[in-house]
Amino acid sequence: MNITKTQILTYASILLAGIILGWLFFGGTHDHNDHNGHDHTVAESSNEVWTCSMHPSVREDGPGSCPICGMDLIPATATEREDDFSMVMTEAAIRLANIQTTPVILDIPKKEITLPGRIAVDERRISYVTAHFEGRIHDVKIDFTGAPIRRGEVMASIYSQEVVSAQRELLETYRNRDRNPSMYESAVRKFRLWEFTDEQIQAIIDRGEVKTHMDILSPVDGFVMVRNVVDDQHVMDGSVIYEVANLDHLWVTLEAYEEDIGWISTGDRIEFRSRTNPGLKYEATVDYIDPAFDAQKRTIRLRADIKNSDHRLRPDMLVTGILHAEQREEKLMVPASAVLWTGPRSLVYVKDTGADTPRFMVREVDLGPKAGDFYVIEGGLEEGEEVVFNGAFRIDSEFQLADRFSMMNRQPGTGAVPAGHQHGDMDHTDHAHDADHEPFDDVPAEFRAMLTGAIEAYITGKDAFVESDLSSAQSGFEAFRDKLSKIGEHGLSGDGHMAWMETWAVLMEHTDTITETEDIEEARTAFRHLSDELVKAVHLFGVEGVVYHQYCPMAFDWDGANWLSSEEQIQNPYLPETMLMCGEVIERIED
């Protein structure tokens, strides 16, 4: 085909026009998009909020380090607002916060209640050796209390003119028993009423003559608990000469605090240990609950029968008992860690299992009693619903920061909630209300001063844990134990006596663990439990000066842990290498 010059020029013009148009459309558009994309990135970056994965209350405008624990900040989770009572979270945020859920269960609530107590003589097994006539004691064989004695063993002898006359009457009626048997039976009956044995009566008859001194025999096997006579002592009719107790069976009596009364009933199983032999465990069953309430101690007395054939247990020994109680019917229950305790109406976070993306809802519940590691739920949940038992506080923090309904924000959407969230308060609340005792107002100044001295030694040990120095920590707690020993188990009288007795035992137990272990982490675990008890003690009995109750939610894999300090600045004794400044001041305690 022949192409003319005119056609060539036409094709060239079209090609040139296409190139120019392509540059205008594609080149110009590319620059414009790049420019807009850059502006969008800047705008997004300028509005981005950075937070700490461990402390979501931290909000910064850009990357950096957490001012609480020093960890690197990460971009905060951005979610659309659905309503004031729910929130969607990404899978990454859930993993980071280690959020775990468990179903609401329907079960019989059970609880282990620790009770202080002591061993007592079974009052039904006490025998009283009594003088049934006027006379004079002679030749006392059992001359000290605590003496073991067998049935029929001679305890002492007695001279009585009345007994001498009765012997003559017995011998006379015996000789004439065929003619007047009733007179003979009457004479024998008199000796039996005086608690002389048939063998003693027969011995008088066999001897055929009056004996001036008659032996007083033990009526039972046992131990002499009371001795009221000495040689040549004159006694009257009705005088108690000895008290003899059979110690093969004893009572264990335990004191139950007012708040635990509803859990206790006859038939409940008890395990207890004595202070003298803590490695030996005894079991018994509650068979009596005192109907009278002790208004001074705020306790009721429980009683159980125990066998003591080896006589290892002795009256008035102190014991610590654990009562295994359970309610009569099934109740809804959730783990205690799932409840953000704010009073009778508390919060639980529920996972929406029907949602396509992870979604959590806040739910107010009617809280029942605590049953071991669980709470009874009287209303607000249904069996099978998934509740958050690990990471509930983290979710609550996110709800609060998003101005939604949460533990500290009962008016969502108003912006009225404060920026900072005192997470220590929540985690500490369970311990505080678990004690549930008003401070004692009759604590002597001397006791309070001695307790303050013990706390000073405790703080020395705490500071050594901050340095991860086990040896120095043990030295501090050896001093702590010495000061507790000087206070003594019975160092407090009045209303607080039983409470201090229980606290003292717990403190000494965990102190021994700290001073005897070779593992610093085991020592820190004992320090954690000791600190919980000491925080309670400071509230109950007071302290001279100022101490700070501090708390770290991250200790022990987010279980959290308390401690006392003399300084307001946080120095974490549980995570000093990684989270030295992690924690918050729960309260400032001062006299």
Domain extents in the chain: 1-47, 49-76, 86-109+329-421, 111-122+247-326, 124-245, 435-590
- CATH number given to 111-122+247-326: 2.40.30.170
In terms of DSSP H, where are the helices of 194-293?
198-207
Non-local CB neighbours of 270 within 8 Å, separated by 6+ positions: 115, 252, 254, 283, 284, 285, 286, 302, 304, 321, 322, 323, 324
Other beta carbons less than 10 A from residue 472's beta carbon = 15
- Bridge partners (DSSP) of residue 274 are 319
* pLDDT 10s digits, 364-376: 999 888 888 899 9
* pLDDT 10s digits, 232-241: 999 999 999 9
Exposure of 148 in the CB half-sphere (CA atoms within 13 A): 3
Task: Give the predicted TM-score (pTM) of the model.
Answer: 0.51
Domain 435-590, CATH class in plain words: mainly alpha
* pLDDT 10s digits, 314-359: 999 999 999 998 888 999 999 988 988 765 568 999 999 887 778 8
DSSP letter for 406, please: B
CATH number of this structure's domain 124-245, picked from the four choices 2.60.120.620, 2.40.50.100, 3.40.50.2300, 1.20.1730.10? 2.40.50.100
Domain 86-109+329-421 has CATH 1.10.3720.10: no
Same fold, 124-245 and 435-590: no
Residue of 427, 383, 349, 390 lying closest to 87 (CA atoms)? 349
Rounded to 10 degrees, what is the CA torsion of 415, 417, 423, 428?
A: -150
- Report yes or no: 460 and 479 within 8 Å, Cβ to Cβ: yes
pLDDT at 69 over 90: no
Non-local CB neighbours of 466 within 8 Å, separated by 6+ positions: 571, 572, 573, 576, 580
* pLDDT 10s digits, 442-491: 889 999 999 999 999 999 999 999 999 999 999 999 999 999 999 988 88
Task: Measure the CA angle with vertex 496, ends 493 and 502; round to 5°.
Answer: 105
In terms of DSSP H, where are the helices of 91-197?
91-97, 161-175, 181-193
- Report yes or no: 94 and 77 within 8 Å, Cβ to Cβ: no
pLDDT at 204 over 50: yes
* pLDDT 10s digits, 394-433: 788 778 777 788 877 777 766 544 433 333 333 333 433 3
